């Protein structure tokens, strides 16, 4: 059985439409959506619970001037990193009004070469298609490339072939930890909330993976064998109107894979999500955690952050796993991957383990960021 739903709106004199086809074949629900390159007028309705569609699928009814939806991927090692974000949003809706990207459909590519040189590209796309099969997603962004996930989200690939920026290659992700919503595992999906905070959704398809990246960037080869990650965020209001600050990150430390999200909304309310596995088996998924900055200067340690805050030397992540005990990890801000006015992203060493138990000092590796709208 197939169903076609057409959502129409206008931008100036241009008629836009998102056409979504849904079918069921072989027991797996499939969908296909064409996303227009200009924002639509009208209200955007966001997905809030797991019963509303595929885990890794689109989460908005339309992309208007104040909503956002993206698919984020990264791979990092001790030597190098790469991050790719497939975006459907105006730049103003995600707090970058100074950016000159003219479309709501574009891709960002950032990272570090082993010698410490950073690279950063933005590629607008006129033709964008998003498909789902089961819970996995696939997408095509004209002028950049595509991604493809399996129905169970256990394996993802990204293919890049962009003449515009001179980048070509592929990334591979073999999941090593179960997918999760903010406070529940995907396997417990019935009735699960997909909302981390008001107007802000989060679905983490690949919290940790064995990953490889093989790219040619402007003629320079980049090969990474390390840890990979994939999630998506979305919202129905501009981020700077609903968000004050957040600390987010992921890492692999010895047998432990961790993902943290410590979010403060515009009204000062704090929301948490802690994820911890050991050898791929869940230890905890919940809200019993804190993430705090550390540094030599007082302005680096301020919490909650305020306009006087400066970039910290790293973060201390404390997780209370109940009967499994308490855990503490330290993430050291060794390498700046990306820095703009509203956020900084780092890679570095992560150490730690159970409080009072065996500690792991390497080669723990991860990637994390500090987002802020506090000026």
Q: Please count the structural domains in the chain.
A: 2
Which H or E run contains 301? helix 298-301
Q: Is the same domain home to 114 and 205?
A: yes
Q: Is the same domain home to 229 and 154?
A: yes
In a domain, 307, yes or no: yes
- Identify the domain containing residue 259 by its residue range: 242-375
Q: Return the pLDDT at 97.
A: 62
Q: Is the same domain home to 176 and 254?
A: no
CATH number where 95 lies: 2.40.370.10
> Where does a domain end: 237, 272, 300?
237
In a domain, 92, yes or no: yes
> Where does a domain end: 237, 253, 282?
237
Q: Return the pLDDT at 17.
A: 37
Closest CA to 88 of 74, 100, 71, 73: 71
Q: How far is CA 177 from the centre of its chain?
A: 16
* Separation of alpha carbons 361 and 63, rounded Å: 44
Per-residue tens of pLDDT for the chain, all 375 residues: 333 222 222 222 222 334 455 555 556 799 999 999 999 999 999 999 998 989 999 999 999 999 999 999 999 999 999 999 999 999 999 988 657 899 999 999 999 999 999 999 999 999 999 999 999 999 999 999 999 999 999 999 999 999 999 999 999 999 999 999 999 999 887 789 999 999 999 999 999 999 999 999 999 999 999 999 999 999 999 999 999 999 999 999 999 999 999 999 999 999 999 999 999 999 999 999 999 999 999 999 999 999 999 999 999 999 999 999 999 999 999 999 999 889 999 999 999 999 999 999 877 899 999 999 997
Q: Is the same domain home to 184 and 249?
A: no
CB 114 within 8 A of CB 247: no
HSE on the CB side for 181, CA within 13 Å?
A: 25
In a domain, 72, yes or no: yes
Q: Is the same domain home to 220 and 144?
A: yes
Is the pTM value of this prediction over 0.75?
Answer: yes
270: how many CB neighbours lie within 10 A of its CB? 15
Q: Is the same domain home to 231 and 316?
A: no
> Where does a domain end: 190, 211, 237?
237
Q: Is the same domain home to 66 and 188?
A: yes
Q: Is the same domain home to 103 and 130?
A: yes
Q: Is the same domain home to 280 and 132?
A: no
Q: Is the same domain home to 258 and 225?
A: no
Radius of gyration of the chain (CA): 20
**pLDDT digit string (tens) for 134-158?**
999 999 999 999 999 999 999 999 9
Q: Is the same domain home to 344 and 307?
A: yes
Q: Is the same domain home to 287 and 217?
A: no
What DSSP designation does 372 have?
A: E
Q: Return the pLDDT at 26.
A: 58
* Separation of alpha carbons 306 and 151, rounded Å: 43
In a domain, 18, yes or no: no
């Amino acid at each position: 059985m197939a169903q076609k739903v057409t959502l129409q709106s206008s931008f100036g004199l241009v008629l836009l439409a998102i056409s979504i086809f849904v079918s069921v074949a072989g027991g797996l629900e499939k969908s296909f959506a064409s996303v227009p390159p200009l924002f639509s007028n009208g209200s955007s309705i966001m997905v809030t619970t797991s019963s509303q569609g595929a885990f890794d699928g689109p989460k908005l009814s339309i992309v208007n001037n104040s909503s956002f939806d993206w698919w984020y991927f990264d791979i990092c090692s001790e030597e190098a990193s790469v991050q790719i974000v497939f975006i459907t949003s105006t730049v103003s809706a995600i707090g970058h009004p100074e950016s000159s990207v003219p479309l709501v459909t574009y891709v960002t590519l950032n990272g570090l070469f082993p010698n410490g040189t950073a690279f950063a590209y933005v590629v607008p796309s006129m033709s964008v298609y998003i498909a789902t099969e089961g819970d996995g997603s696939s997408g095509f962004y004209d002028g950049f490339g595509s991604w493809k996930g399996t129905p169970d989200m256990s394996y993802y690939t990204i293919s890049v072939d962009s003449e515009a920026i001179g980048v070509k290659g592929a990334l591979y992700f073999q999941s090593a930890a179960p997918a999760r919503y903010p406070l529940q595992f995907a396997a417990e999906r019935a009735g699960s909330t997909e909302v981390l905070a008001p107007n802000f959704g989060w679905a983490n398809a690949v919290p940790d993976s064995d990953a490889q990246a093989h790219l040619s960037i402007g003629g320079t080869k980049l090969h990474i064998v390390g840890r990979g990650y994939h999630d998506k965020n979305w919202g129905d209001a501009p981020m700077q109107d609903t968000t004050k600050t957040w600390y987010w990150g992921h890492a692999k430390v010895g047998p432990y894979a961790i993902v943290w999200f410590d979010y403060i909304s515009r009204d000062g309310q704090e929301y948490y999500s802690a994820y911890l596995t050991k050898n791929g088996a869940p230890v905890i998924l919940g809200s019993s955690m804190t993430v705090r900055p550390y540094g030599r200067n007082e302005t680096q340690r301020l919490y909650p952050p305020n306009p006087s805050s400066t970039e910290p030397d790293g973060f201390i992540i404390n997780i209370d796993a109940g009967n499994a005990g308490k855990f503490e990890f330290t993430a050291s801000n060794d390498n700046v991957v990306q820095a703009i006015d509203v956020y900084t992203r780092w890679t570095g060493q992560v150490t730690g383990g159970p409080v009072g138990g065996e500690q792991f000092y390497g080669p723990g590796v991860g990637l994390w960021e500090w987002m802020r709208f506090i000026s």
